[in-house]
Structure 1
Amino acid sequence: MGEETCMDANVGFDLVERARALAPLIAGEADAIEQARRLTAPVVAALIENGLYRTLLPQSLGGAEAPPEIFMQVLEEIAKADASTAWCLGQCSVCAMIAASLDRDTAHEIFNAPPGILAWGAIAHEARAVEGGYRVTARWDFASGSRQASWLGAHVRITGADGAPRKNADGSPQVRTILFPVASAVLHDVWHAIGLAGTGTDSYEACDLFIPERFTAFRDVPSALRETGPLYKLGTGSAFSLGFAAVSLGVARATLDATIALARGKHQSLATKAMRDNAAVQGLIGRTEGDLRAARAYLYATAGAMWRDLTASGEFREPHRSAVRLASTWTIHQSAKVVDTAYHMAGATAVFRNNPFERRFRDMHAIAQQIQARDTHYEDVGRAILAGD
């Protein structure tokens, strides 16, 4: 066990360093990513070459199987350069966790044939059970990273051959994740968004597609796991939350840093002092820096406490699920406040596309509209607190 911990730490450190080293390339491609509305070929090639899409893939398949903190740091570093790239990387990395619920040969076929990238969208529609697998005709939305993917997935409710919904023991609908080559689907170019424009978060459609049983899995069901590592007991829902909160931290850090750099050299119109010598600006920079550091510390402390308990007990407990959701939601909202403050401090400079503000402003507010940032998460946590759970 000691050797594994040491190896994982070294691999994790290397992943973060690789992400940091790719930042100049990604920043240089950011405008092209925005215009193309998808990641550019040089960026995708660099992410693949450096193994970043395999951050959460099981070690048994050649992945890093990195702990959440490493995954979060990787996304932070990439997000400082470009939020769309970090978002796609986060999405596809978490999708790769499904490998832990597939048989070895199936997982190898999906993730070890270049480019080995899987993307999926939100849960929707039904698949009908047939001999040897399932048949599905449906269209799904919000598949970030689908334009780089070689495989697509979908979370579907299962019906029997007679069309009757299949139920779990507790009466809930039976949901499986189905996986199929991207060539088996039609992608629809629909992602014309104000922020995260380069993610290619498009829709995809399948018509009377047969999915063999081995290309399906029960997602986030501990009893269905083939891999024994603690990472896969965390589940994709919480991994998405931590990852996208880390993306928001990276965007906030880059935006505030840009404002600090601007303030060091800018003399505001009609002002008697340079920005750096203005006490109001100094105070606002100090308070905003404190807000950002506090948000980051809270997110990482929550992730660390959860991970220590998970690795020690082998269980992902409900209190930690709630804590992760609360910390992730609050961090995204706090990051949005940091970006707003930095943007407004920059004044008219911030509105020009050739300056490092307006795209990050739009990206941050697109992040804050995603499911991981819903205000209803506070209600869920508050309800649990008041119930004494």
Structure 2
Amino acid sequence: MNKQPGFDLVESARSLQPLITRDSDEIERTRRLTPAVTSALIENGLYRSLLPQSLGGSEAPLETFMQMQEEIAKADASTAWCLGQCSVCAMTAAYLDPDAANEIFNTAPGILAWGAIAHEVQAVPGGYKASARWDFASGSRQASWLGAHVRVVEADGTQRRKKDGSPEIRTILFPMASATMYDVWDVIGLRGTGTDSYSVENLFIPEKFAALRDDPTALRENGALYKLTTNMVFSMGFGATSLGLARATLDAATELARGKTPQGLKAMKDNNAVQGLIGKTEATLRAARAYLYTTAAEVWRDLSRGDPLTEQHRIALRIAATWTIHQSAAVVDTAYHMAGATAVFAANKFERRFRDMHAIAQQIQARNTHYEDAGKAILSTSLATPPTAR
């Protein structure tokens, strides 16, 4: 058993680092988390970090979730990515009938994963019919349930819309056994996430398993955590994952510099250029971490005292996460190049961390267009209003 009695989520994450580090080569090779790592994450309750307390979850504060992600990422970015993805998926329980949520999350292993928003379902008596394929399902190989975010088509062929005229998006949920999986994740970074594709054919989804995720009118929980949308928590979790990856890479480069003497040059530890580069890069990483966590603390303070979620909060979280990912990538680049030829050997982990970091920087949370969105919102001078996007 890998359970650590009495430890909180962050301490548990830290205690699992040796196991995850030991299995990281196998995770990379097989493009799956190992059974030992998956079992340890489950036994220590890490997948339940954001599940409501009413269902036996931790309902952890945002900063605690971020610290958990950061610690796991220091050992292996793919493991952290899967954990973060599935942990946030569990927030959907706050929008479900308790019986449905209990069936999904309190039947072992109780892990939900999903892919990108795509496709439609047909409304039928008692629920919906789905026939589609979805991509980018990180963590799906450990999951017991899958989800998909879909538009709804009524029986008369019209698209179901919300009161404001926008399309209604439902998150449909179904057992893993109902889907066909496709092994497509042949990539250069985050290989161990097994971010594969899946499909269903003419599958009936009962109404109780079709959530209005991130719709405040459907929310059943009162905690501060569930005032945040899943997209907001995804962004902060993956920002923290980037910090953990960057910290591990910089620490490895610093340790290397303490003992390496490049051919024809003085020892790295005595090289003024190396000394200055390490100092500056350390400052960059510490500044990024301080910014991300300060932003999380400020938003959490407001929500915990009963304030509503605003556009100001959305923009603050959005740009903090995006900027942190970009700064983390810069730190990894610097550490990788500082390591010289040592970095190209697979045994030294520099090249894997370099690939993982740049895979993170390529996905939606790191898009430069987020800065444009933030600038537009700031210039609108209406930041005290509800979020314009969820």
TM-score, length-normalised on structure 2? 0.96
Taking every aligned residue pair, what percent have the same amino acid on both sides? 71
In structure 2, which of residues 239, 243, 264 is the aligned counterpart of residue 249 of structure 1?
243
Determine whether 1:85 maps to 2:79: yes
2:263 — aligned with what?
269
The Cα of 1:275 is off from its aligned counterpart by 0.3
8 Å CA contact 1:23, 1:77 repeated in 2: yes
The Cα of 1:188 is off from its aligned counterpart by 0.4
The Cα of 1:137 is off from its aligned counterpart by 0.4
2:305 — aligned with what?
312
1:388 — aligned with what?
381
The Cα of 1:12 is off from its aligned counterpart by 11
Q: Deviation per CA, 1:274-296, whole angstroms, max 9, x where unpaired?
A: 10010100000000000000000
Q: Distance in 2 between matches of 1:36 and 1:80?
A: 20
The aligned amino acid for 1:78 is I
Structure 2 counterpart SS, 1:204: strand
Q: Deviation per CA, 1:223-270, whole angstroms, max 9, x where unpaired?
A: 211111111110101000000000000000000000000000000111
1:285 — aligned with what?
278
Q: Distance in 2 between matches of 1:214 and 1:387?
A: 39
Q: Distance in 1 between matches of 2:376 and 2:7?
A: 38
The Cα of 1:314 is off from its aligned counterpart by 4.2
8 Å CA contact 1:144, 1:202 repeated in 2: yes
Q: Distance in 2 between matches of 1:270 and 1:369?
A: 37
8 Å CA contact 1:13, 1:70 repeated in 2: no
2:319 — aligned with what?
326
1:197 — aligned with what?
191
Structure 2 counterpart SS, 1:382: helix
Structure 2 counterpart SS, 1:191: coil
Q: Distance in 2 between matches of 1:166 and 1:48?
A: 38
The aligned amino acid for 1:104 is P
2:208 — aligned with what?
214
In structure 2, which of residues 365, 369, 373 is the aligned counterpart of residue 372 of structure 1?
365
More displaced stretch, 107-116 vs 310-319 = 310-319
More displaced stretch, 376-385 vs 93-102 = 376-385
The Cα of 1:103 is off from its aligned counterpart by 1.0
Q: Distance in 2 between matches of 1:376 and 1:367?
A: 16
2:88 — aligned with what?
94
The aligned amino acid for 1:77 is E
Matches within 5 A, 1:44-59: 44-59=38-53
The Cα of 1:108 is off from its aligned counterpart by 0.6
Determine whether 1:129 maps to 2:123: yes
8 Å CA contact 1:326, 1:378 repeated in 2: yes
**Runs of 4 or more above 3 Å deviation:** none
1:41 — aligned with what?
35
C-alpha change, 1:92 and 1:55, in structure 2 (3 Å) is same
Matches within 5 A, 1:6-17: 14-17=8-11
Q: Distance in 1 between matches of 2:159 and 2:379?
A: 35
8 Å CA contact 1:39, 1:199 repeated in 2: yes
Q: Distance in 1 between matches of 2:213 and 2:126?
A: 19
In structure 1, which of residues 210, 215, 223 is the aligned counterpart of residue 217 of structure 2?
223
Determine whether 1:335 maps to 2:350: no
Q: Distance in 2 between matches of 1:351 and 1:297?
A: 31
Q: Deviation per CA, 1:150-179, whole angstroms, max 9, x where unpaired?
A: 000000000101221111111111110000
Structure 1 counterpart SS, 2:36: helix
1:3 — aligned with what?
none
Structure 2 counterpart SS, 1:109: helix
The Cα of 1:356 is off from its aligned counterpart by 2.1
Structure 2 counterpart SS, 1:113: coil
Number of equivalences: 378
Q: Distance in 2 between matches of 1:174 and 1:53?
A: 28
1:64 — aligned with what?
58
Q: Deviation per CA, 1:267-325, whole angstroms, max 9, x where unpaired?
A: 01110x21001010000000000000000000000000000011112421110111100
2:385 — aligned with what?
none
Structure 1 counterpart SS, 2:155: coil
8 Å CA contact 1:265, 1:276 repeated in 2: yes
Q: Distance in 1 between matches of 2:191 and 2:365?
A: 18
Q: Distance in 1 between matches of 2:322 and 2:6?
A: 25
The aligned amino acid for 1:164 is T
Structure 2 gaps of 5+ residues are 383-390
The Cα of 1:388 is off from its aligned counterpart by 2.4
Determine whether 1:26 maps to 2:23: no
Structure 1 gaps of 5+ residues are 1-10
Q: Distance in 2 between matches of 1:226 and 1:306?
A: 21
TM-score, length-normalised on structure 1? 0.96
Q: Distance in 2 between matches of 1:385 and 1:132?
A: 44
The aligned amino acid for 1:305 is E
8 Å CA contact 1:332, 1:368 repeated in 2: yes
Structure 1 counterpart SS, 2:181: strand
Q: Distance in 1 between matches of 2:8 and 2:377?
A: 39
In structure 1, which of residues 160, 179, 186 is the aligned counterpart of residue 180 of structure 2?
186
Q: Distance in 2 between matches of 1:243 and 1:202?
A: 21
1:155 — aligned with what?
149
The Cα of 1:386 is off from its aligned counterpart by 2.3
